[in-house]
């Protein structure tokens, strides 16, 4: 019997000819990632192992992105602790300040993660790298410490569910809408500890950025990882960036799946996830005219250049409604520079937006856009749990960049009578 792409990557990294769901394997890790929240805990645990140096200074990556630029004394202490460790270990890939960005956008952009890799990160959205055809998953800080010391980690091979997308997308429907629709269909635990394999004729038309967006939110369905079969789109993206050799894997025709879910995208319209779960999804025609106080366009889910370009297309010649705080957060310095160079900042500033330096910022309730009691935000982020972006009695609605931009102009969620702003 054949193997899925997830099983093939895990088998290769465990030195085995084949693995099956449920197998426990000890596998080598290509990239181990930590950020300014999770890395300090991992570093403390690494010290306790007695090891003096990390297993490979080229494969341990640290990024200051969650509370950086430092928002307060505690976050400054966290970053300082991580910075000292990076210098002590002479890490090749340490990012802060003007060369830092949101980790899950930064690492692919810099060619650090590649197709066929096994990547772990002490951040749940590490699954983003499945967009490249890598096995990537989030772990706890203690597991990160173990990998920092040994370069290996135990895994339980997950079952795989194949999602087959067919049909032609409607205007303004992008990867964010496909993954929101999917999560709405199967639920936030619908792929619990499973691999979500995204395939089908529609997937072939997705940009690299849209693939990252979909893989990024696999964790919101409880998945161990999300993954795409790499193709020419991926090759074009990685060829100019890769620091080292990479390998394309694909699933065998006779691979075994726990389930196969077929989705016709032709009937999917832009989606909005209502509070307080990503599965609480409605099509844009069913959202109603709900007033908002804030619109956030950014994050590891939708902070890439194409996301900002989509928002600018909607915002051009328009202004955010009175009382709406429009916040734009380019995900990396490269995204920031391209948006500036290509005139997107003029559009945003003319619309009354605040443009932030690259940071995770408000996505996790960090800073740069915290919500007060009773406030509502529409955001291109990935989670809308209770208190996720501020006060426990605030609300977050998840959408794609076009819907978020249109809602900022309208002063309310873009609804059935407001599609003229979009269409």
**Each residue of 100-132: pLDDT tens digit?**
999 999 999 999 999 999 999 999 999 999 999
How high is the pLDDT of residue 328? 98
Cα–Cα distances in angstroms (integers) from residue 330 to residues 107, 355, 358, 375, in the given order: 15, 8, 5, 24
CATH topology of domain 5-241+254-263: Aconitase; domain 3 (3.30.499)
- What backbone torsions phi and psi does residue 69 show, to the nearest 5 degrees? -50, 140
Residue spans of the chain under pLDDT 50? 423
pLDDT score for 202: 96
**So what's the pLDDT on residue 288?**
86
What pLDDT score was predicted for residue 416? Answer: 60
CATH topology match: 5-241+254-263 vs 272-421:
yes
127 to 119, 121, 147, 162, 196: CA distances (angstroms): 9, 9, 17, 16, 10
Q: Which residue has the tokens 């939708």?
A: 302
**Contact partners, residue 114, CB within 8 Å, separation at least 6:** 30, 132, 134, 238, 242, 243, 244, 246
pTM score of the predicted model: 0.94
Nearest to 43 by CA among 81, 70, 90, 87: 81
CATH number (3.40.50.300, 3.30.499.10, 3.20.20.70, 3.40.50.410) of 272-421 reads: 3.30.499.10
pLDDT given for residue 117 in this prediction? 98
Which helix (H) or strand (E) segment is 27 a member of?
strand 24-28
Task: Tell me how far apart the alpha carbons of residues 246 and 260 are, in angstroms, rounded to a whole number.
Answer: 28
3-state SS assignment for residue 232? helix
- For the chain, which residues make up each domain, given as ranges? 5-241+254-263, 272-421
């Amino acid at each position: 019997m054949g193997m899925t792409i997830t099983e093939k990557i895990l088998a290769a990294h465990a030195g085995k000819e084949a693995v099956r769901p449920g197998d426990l394997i000890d596998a080598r890790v290509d990239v181990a990632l930590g950020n300014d929240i999770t890395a300090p805990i991992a570093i403390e645990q690494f010290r306790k192992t007695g090891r003096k140096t990390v297993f490979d200074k080229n494969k341990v990556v640290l990024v200051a992105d969650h509370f950086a630029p430092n928002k307060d004394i505690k976050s400054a202490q966290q970053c300082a602790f991580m910075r000292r460790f990076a210098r002590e270990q002479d890490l090749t890939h340490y990012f802060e300040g003007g060369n830092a960005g949101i980790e899950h956008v930064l690492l692919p952009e810099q060619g650090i993660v590649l197709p066929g890799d096994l990547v772990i990160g002490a951040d749940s959205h590490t699954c983003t790298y499945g967009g490249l055809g890598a096995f990537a998953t989030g772990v706890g800080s203690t597991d990160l410490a173990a990998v920092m010391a040994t370069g290996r980690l135990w895994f339980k091979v997950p079952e795989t569910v194949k999602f087959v997308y067919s049909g032609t997308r409607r205007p303004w429907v992008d990867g964010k809408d496909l993954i929101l629709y999917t999560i709405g269909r199967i639920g936030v635990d619908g792929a619990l500890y499973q691999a979500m394999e995204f395939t089908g004729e529609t997937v072939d038309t997705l940009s690299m950025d849209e693939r990252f967006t979909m893989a990024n939110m696999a964790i919101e369905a409880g998945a161990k990882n999300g993954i795409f079969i790499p193709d020419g789109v991926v090759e074009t993206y990685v060829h100019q960036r890769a620091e080292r050799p990479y390998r394309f894997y694909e699933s065998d025709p006779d691979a075994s799946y726990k389930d196969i879910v077929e989705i016709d995208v032709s009937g999917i319209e832009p989606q909005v996830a209502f509070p307080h779960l990503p599965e609480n999804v409605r099509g844009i025609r069913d959202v109603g005219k709900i007033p908002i106080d804030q619109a956030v366009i950014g994050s590891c889910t939708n902070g890439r250049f194409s996301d900002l370009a989509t928002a600018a297309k909607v915002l051009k010649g328009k202004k955010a409604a009175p009382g709406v705080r429009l916040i734009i957060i380019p995900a990396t310095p490269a995204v920031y520079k391209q948006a500036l160079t290509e005139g997107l900042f003029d559009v945003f500033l003319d619309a009354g937006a605040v443009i932030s330096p690259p940071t995770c910022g408000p996505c996790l309730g960090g800073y740069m856009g915290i919500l007060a009691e009773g406030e509502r935000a529409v955001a291109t982020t990935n989670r809308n749990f209770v208190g996720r972006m501020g006060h426990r009695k605030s609300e977050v609605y998840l959408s794609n960049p076009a819907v978020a931009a249109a809602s900022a102009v309208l002063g309310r969620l873009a609804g059935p009578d407001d599609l003229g702003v979009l269409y």
